[in-house]
Chains A and B, each alone.
Chain A
Amino acid sequence: MNIIFTISFTLMAIGAILSLIRFVKGPRSGDRVVALDTMSIIITSALVLLAHVFDRYIYVDVALVYAVLGFVGVIVIARYIEGAL
């Protein structure tokens, strides 16, 4: 089981680093908003996997809040860029 966790967390860390490179480098604001959304999904799945590692299933409530509210943050910035906030 230990090898599976190590491979999963390595892949998630590579995904997070690539998202951050796109956030720093992107010339327009659309690139940065997409990087925020991608990092939100990666960290939600990391929280659920860590709840299995720590062996306490009440920790999943934190990931539930992130999964539902990630949409609202992206919509707020998108409406401002459109000019209609």
Chain B
Amino acid sequence: MIYIAILIIMGVLLLATAIFAVTHRDLLFAVIATGIISLILSLFFYLLQAPDVALTEAAIGIALTTIIFVITIRNTTRDEDEIIDKKNEKL
């Protein structure tokens, strides 16, 4: 009973964060949303009695995925539509 309730509530939270990560314009907030998605997904793997997979998702989702995306944002732009606007200007 507790099991099903946790699954449903965390499932709704996961869906809301995923929609926010895909549709928002500022790229840094999408990176933070990816971190939260990895957190909730690790809890799901744990509830399905797979501690090896949960530990792997925890070890890579917190720091390594975030740092690689942040380095990419630092070297290009932080705003998503700036590149598209520049291309349209040239055409």
Contact = CB atoms under 8 A, between A and B. Distances in A.
A contacts B: CB pair < 8 Å: yes
Interface of A: 5-6, 9, 13, 16-17, 20, 23-24, 29, 32-33, 35-36, 39-40, 43, 46-47, 50, 53-54, 58-59, 61-62, 65-66, 69-70, 72-73, 76-77, 80-81, 85
A77 B74 contact: no
Contacts, number: 95
Interface residues of B, number: 36
B32 A33 contact: yes
Given A76-B67, A77-B28, A85-B71, A16 B55 contact: no
B42 A62 contact: yes
B58 A13 contact: no
Nearest to A79: B70
Given A29-B28, A77-B66, A85-B70, A69 B59 contact: yes
